[in-house]
Amino acid sequence: MRKATTTTAGASAGLTETELAALDAHWRAANYLAVGQIYLMANPLLQEPLAPEHIKPRLLGHWGTSPGLNLVHTHLNRVIKARDLDALCVWGPGHGGPAVLANSWLDGTYGETYPDVGRDRAGMERLFRQFSFPGGVPSHVAPETPGSIHEGGELGYSLAHAYGAALDNPGLLVACVIGDGEAETGPLAASWHSNKFLDPVHDGAVLPILHLNGYKIANPTVLARLPESELDSLLRGYGHEPLHVTGDEPLAVHRAMAATMDRALDRIAQIQRDAREGRTTDRPYWPMIVLRTPKGWTGPHEVDGLPVEGTWRAHQVPLSGVRDNPEHLRMLQAWLRSYRPEELFDAMGTPDPAVLDCVPAGARRLGANPHANGGLLLRDLPVPPLERHAVRVDKPGTILHEPTRVLGSLLESVMEATSGRRDFRVFGADETASNRLEALYEATGKAWQAETLDTDEHLAPDGRVMEVLSEHLCQGWLEGYLLTGRHGLFSSYEAFAHIVDSMVNQHIKWLRTSRRLDWRRPIASLNYLLTSHVWRQDHNGFSHQDPGFVDHILNKSPEVVRVYLPPDANTLLSVADHVLRSRDYVNVIVAGKQPGFDWLTLDEARAHCARGAGVWQWAGTESASKTRYREPDAVLACAGDVPTLETLAAADLLRRYLPELVVRVINVVDMARLLPHDEHPHGMTDSEYDALFTTDKPVIFAYHGYPWLIHRLAYRRRGHVNLHVRGYREEGTTTTPFDMVVRNDLDRYRLVMDVIDRVPGLGVRAVAVRQTMADVRARHHTWIREHGTDLSEVVDWTWTG
């Protein structure tokens, strides 16, 4: 290990010996507390010789990264206090939960949040015992950890979260520790370029701290094994000015780290001043720190004859046999005593004043910064009255609108209304315009700090539309933005939402956990608009067809997930209005961008969306049976814009060809309505469901996605055996809209045939109608190959009921 060096020679001159000793005391205390959490369930202050019964029965946790995180935390404390900074830290190596928990306990926020784990002996014992213990706290930085906006279990998202937090927070510094393991992931590798989207005027600063301790679980890391010049070139290529701190001598590293932190913060302050006072509009080269210290630093150097400190063996629990192996027990005691706990804590467990010397006060503490509990700062979003944006519908199924374009005008209003507050952003993977949300550019630009040419449009350093060809970045930025108390929407091609399956998993887990913590205030929901969907990949074809994100989402915690399939423009507005006002959910909206029929007026749309699923009386023939009410012979249900079109067209055909048949038409907007009431808060009761779908009539359900999803939602219902679902069966590629539905047996003619096949006793006339339907389908197959277009009776169809 090289000795401590810093790129600023002599810059540590400012640190007195007393300050240095106090910083080291804080660091030692945090290290002691981290080790204690991994090993001890009693005797927290080592007031008696360590015995097997003081040791946890199961040793779990990650020591390797902890001393480095403690070093960073100690030094962040110092500069926050010295400069009165408003600062957050995103701890990428979140497996180092013991470190962040130790610091939160030390700065007092842990005890304020959890009064039984206060800054005394009993609190320390609880801190130790609860860690990775059944009924206790997870081993990672997690929602339960005060001051955190980032669960460190799955790696890759720290830097994107940090940038999301910094956006529109000009007074905030967001430090971000990036482990060299995490740095190998794709999302993290992409995140470095986030600095091309950060406005030094309106946004805060991100200070990346790349922590090279050299190893991941079982291997060296790529970045730690590059020559320093090559790493330096890489980081400069990312647009940063890297400052290097390297060493394994604690006091030397403290000096170097303090000097380098000062240099970085001075540079950040200068960048912000220059930009805010208009002295420069050049994209700045933001400073960052490369911290190179040993893995498991200050832990056992060698165990059972094998090197541990500074190797991958220090990753988790360096001494594993402590309860049964007296030598390991002895080594643990020596290790703990090496921090000189008697200097750090009094007999009551209270930290010595020197230990706390660097700790800032009140909300300046990293564990207490309100940005890390974003709900505290959240303001309601000014969503304008929908009347201003709704489309006029005099008669259903006769006028076409592009639903997402109508939504775009609503979003423009929200963007406009937040132009002063700057707490709303829209994110997209280079698809905002393709998804027909261009109206947004009337209210704001697309964030862009890199070079701009005369031919560019809508680029703006302070724009609040975020466009980058990375779903990971969109998702990560948005999560960071929401977790710090702001609002947003992510629009994506439907198929490519799967790119963030794993990220949204973690966000849902975060929300589910934080909802159960009283002290975490609700935050704005994470809202997806999935468009350019499976049915309209006219030129992208098979690779762009995947409706499965909804399936993925509906597997997750029902208190968090919501899925909406508005069938037209006004229902999309109503759903959008709802989700933009909601809290602590992940809302998925699937809606088309291609021209589609308007079915409902705004008032009807609102009522329909409030119910979530309901009969469209005007579309069925129940009320047409003038003389007396007759139960329907069949139910046509639908969810999604294309299935709704085909279902309505099928209802139209049935009315014309089989007028004696009584048909009910149901549209489902809120997919969770189909779930049992006790499985999802939106689920219908059985009596509601039975009244809607009947218990014994055939239900032909035309669904947007994989058909079995409907069965998975409705299998407990009485009428389930009569449920026949049509949906996407992975057929079709580059073709016309109607050919897609034909290939997947979701077309109007097929739906009519399905009804005829399932309603008993229809007689010979129905047989003839069925043949007519089959004939049209056959005609379609011939025509499409010849002409590449759809039949005129399909293209020209409008609702005539």
Q: Which of residues 525-564 bind its own copies (CB under 8 A)?
A: 538-544, 546, 548, 551-552, 555-557
Residue 51 C-beta: closest distance to its own copies, Å: 17
Residue 768 C-beta: closest distance to its own copies, Å: 28
* 32-44 residues labelled b (16+ CB within 10 A) or e (exposed): bbbbbbbbbbebb
Residue 7 binding its own copies, by CB under 8 A? no
Residue 530 C-beta: closest distance to its own copies, Å: 13
Residue 706 binding its own copies, by CB under 8 A? yes
Residues 428, 465 contacting (CB under 8 angstroms):
yes
Residue 13 binding its own copies, by CB under 8 A? no
Residue 138 C-beta: closest distance to its own copies, Å: 4
- Residue 333: other Cβ atoms inside 10 A: 17
Helix (H) or strand (E) holding 686: helix 686-693
Query: Which one, 481 or 706, has the nearer CB to its own copies?
Result: 706
Residue 137 binding its own copies, by CB under 8 A? yes
Angle at 40 between CA 35 and CA 45, to 5 degrees: 80
Among 188-196, 412-420, 617-625, 744-752, which window interacts with its own copies (CB under 8 A)?
188-196
In terms of Cβ atoms closer than 10 Å to its own Cβ (0-12, 13-18, 19+), residue 394 is exposed
Query: Residues 403 to 462: which contact its own copies by CB under 8 A?
Result: 430-434, 446, 448, 450-453, 455-456, 459
Output the six-digit token pair for 405.
Answer: 């374009």
Residues 397, 648 contacting (CB under 8 angstroms):
yes
Among 232-240, 257-265, 398-406, 750-758, which window interacts with its own copies (CB under 8 A)?
232-240
Query: Residues 607 to 636: which contact its own copies by CB under 8 A?
Result: none
Q: Which member of 86, 112, 120, 232 binds its own copies (CB under 8 A)? A: 232
Query: Which one, 154 or 688, has the nearer CB to its own copies?
Result: 154
**Contact letters for its own copies, residues 707-736 (x by CB under 8 A):** -xx-xx--x----x---------x--xxxx
3-state helix, strand, coil in the chain (%, to 5): 45, 15, 40
Residue 273 binding its own copies, by CB under 8 A? no
Query: Which one, 305 or 420, has the nearer CB to its own copies?
Result: 305
Query: Residues 47 to 66: which contact its own copies by CB under 8 A?
Result: 56-58, 60-61
Residue 236 binding its own copies, by CB under 8 A? yes
Considering CB under 8 A, how many residues would be counted as binding its own copies?
121
Strand partners, 211: 179, 291
Helix (H) or strand (E) holding 216: none
DSSP letter at 444 equals -
Q: Which member of 20, 21, 234, 417 binds its own copies (CB under 8 A)? A: 234
Query: Residues 738 to 797: which contact its own copies by CB under 8 A?
Result: 739, 784-785, 787-789
Query: Which one, 105 or 238, has the nearer CB to its own copies?
Result: 238
> What are φ and ψ of residue 194, in 5° steps?
-55, -25
DSSP code string of 599-658: ---HHHHHHHHHHSEEE-GGGSSTTT--SS----SEEEEEESHHHHHHHHHHHHHHHHH-
Query: Which one, 133 or 657, has the nearer CB to its own copies?
Result: 133
Query: Which one, 368 or 415, has the nearer CB to its own copies?
Result: 415
Strand partners, 6: 245
Residue 502 binding its own copies, by CB under 8 A? yes
In order of 584, 640, 682, 683, 724, the CA distances from 613 in angstroms are 23, 12, 11, 11, 18
Residue 564 C-beta: closest distance to its own copies, Å: 20
Q: Which member of 91, 238, 477, 597 binds its own copies (CB under 8 A)? A: 238
Residue 21 C-beta: closest distance to its own copies, Å: 33
Sign of CA dihedral 544, 548, 550, 552: negative
Helix (H) or strand (E) holding 243: strand 240-246
Residue 388 binding its own copies, by CB under 8 A? no
Among 73-81, 176-184, 577-585, 691-699, which window interacts with its own copies (CB under 8 A)?
176-184
Output the six-digit token pair for 573.
Answer: 């507005």
List Cβ<8 Å contacts ≥24 apart for 784-787.
784/735, 784/736, 784/739
Query: Residues 294 to 313: which contact its own copies by CB under 8 A?
Result: 307, 310-311
Q: Which member of 34, 190, 634, 649 binds its own copies (CB under 8 A)? A: 190
Q: Which member of 3, 225, 581, 630 binds its own copies (CB under 8 A)? A: 225
User: Cα(165)–Cα(88) distance, rounded to whole angstroms?
Assistant: 9
